[in-house]
């Protein structure tokens, strides 16, 4: 279906969503996440995966790995040129890809992305909710929601809702959380910028990712839902909106030789291992509602599995987004 559309760029669609089917030079990597995750022999032919935030960092490595395993990969991001590059690498490596450009700060653009994806397939085997951001200064989106929460949590909440009926019985939803979620205190006042702290806002959104996974696993009949901590990746574009001090610090770590920092710093490729594992491994096929790190389930914070918080964040997300999930 996609081969006829390769190397063709469609015009701008509503709500800034754009589609590009790529072709071009192959990307060379010294480390492949599918090897590290122990799934290099998995065949994803005739499978379709959507990876959000796939134009750089962990998302890019995840998309490339799924493409090498034979999947048709829907690549999402905001940067057109970076999206073309990832799509080109997937296509040239023998896979197929489509690039979708969409901003995740508003519910309407997320829903439009879902509509565009639905136009391209009637089956979505893997949904990787990877897109994320960290903002040092507080901002409210046009929807009136604190921007970190909107991009990191509300967007995957809405996107998964709109694509849920495309997931087959063996489908998988993988949502990227973070160990920083342990910093969050379980309060979710996300319609005001009072006493805003960028790291606290990020931690709150990552706790919401974990709570969403618990609630989602209970609502999906067949498909699995898990979340993970990919690792600390200084080279990630996640930090592009952080304070100057944070950017300088992670920038320094990103420039140090990996052998000096490998004990606590990941490259995008090593960080992508857990995402690829959850998306493909037979060992994860019947696991749902869990939090993973280094391809192993671990216990998140107590707040991340708190029954009342699971319900409260779900209800808040429905209220803020205007979508309603079946009970």
CA–CA distance, 325 with 327 (Å, rounded to integer): 6
Token readout for 165 is 């009926």
Is 202 marked active-site?
Answer: yes
Cα dihedral 142, 146, 148, 149 in deg (nearest 10): -100
CA separation (Å) from 86 to 97, 100, 101, 112, 260?
A: 9, 11, 13, 21, 29
Nearest-angstrom CA–CA distance, 310 and 297: 19
**Residue ranges with strand state E in the chain:** 8-9, 18-21, 48-51, 72-77, 96-101, 126-129, 172-176, 224-229, 291-293, 296-298
Cβ-based neighbours of 297, under 8 Å, separated by 6 or more: 287, 290, 291
Dihedral sign from CA coordinates of 181, 186, 188, 193: negative
186, two tokens: 């379980």
Catalytic residue among 20, 202, 277, 291: 202
Q: How many CB atoms lie within 10 A of CB 8?
A: 11
DSSP characters for 61-102?
Answer: HHHHHHHHTT-EEEEEES-HHHHHHHHHHHHHTT-EEEEEE-
Residue positions annotated with a catalytic role: 202
């Amino acid at each position: 279906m996609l081969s006829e559309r390769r190397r063709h760029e469609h015009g701008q669609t509503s709500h800034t969503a754009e589609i590009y089917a790529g072709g071009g030079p192959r990307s060379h990597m010294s480390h492949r996440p599918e090897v590290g995750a122990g799934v290099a022999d998995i065949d994803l032919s005739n499978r379709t995966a959507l990876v959000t935030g796939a134009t750089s960092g962990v998302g890019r490595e995840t998309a490339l790995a799924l493409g090498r395993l034979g999947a048709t990969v829907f690549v999402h991001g905001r940067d057109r040129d970076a999206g073309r590059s990832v799509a080109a690498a997937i296509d040239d490596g023998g896979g197929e890809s489509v690039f979708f450009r969409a901003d995740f700060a508003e519910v309407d653009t997320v829903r439009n992305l879902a509509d565009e994806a639905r136009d391209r397939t009637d089956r979505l085997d893997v949904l990787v909710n990877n897109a994320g951001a960290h903002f040092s200064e507080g901002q409210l989106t046009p929807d009136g929601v604190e921007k970190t929460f909107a991009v990191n949590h509300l967007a995957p909440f809405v996107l998964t809702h709109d694509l849920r009926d495309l997931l087959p019985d063996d489908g998988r939803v993988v949502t990227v959380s973070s160990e920083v979620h342990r910093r969050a205190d379980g309060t979710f006042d996300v319609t005001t910028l009072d006493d805003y702290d960028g790291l606290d806002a990020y931690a709150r959104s990552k706790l919401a990712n974990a709570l969403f996974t618990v609630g989602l696993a209970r609502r999906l009949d067949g498909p699995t839902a898990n979340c993970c901590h990919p690792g600390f990746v200084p080279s990630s574009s996640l930090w592009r909106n952080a304070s100057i001090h944070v950017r300088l610090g992670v920038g320094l770590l990103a420039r140090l030789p990996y052998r000096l920092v490998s004990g606590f710093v990941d490259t995008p490729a090593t960080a992508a291992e857990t995402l690829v594992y959850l998306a493909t491994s037979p060992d994860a096929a019947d696991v749902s509602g869990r939090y993973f790190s280094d391809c192993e389930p671990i216990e998140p914070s107590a707040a991340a599995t708190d029954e009342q918080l699971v319900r409260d964040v779900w209800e808040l997300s429905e209220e803020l987004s205007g979508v309603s999930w079946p009970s």
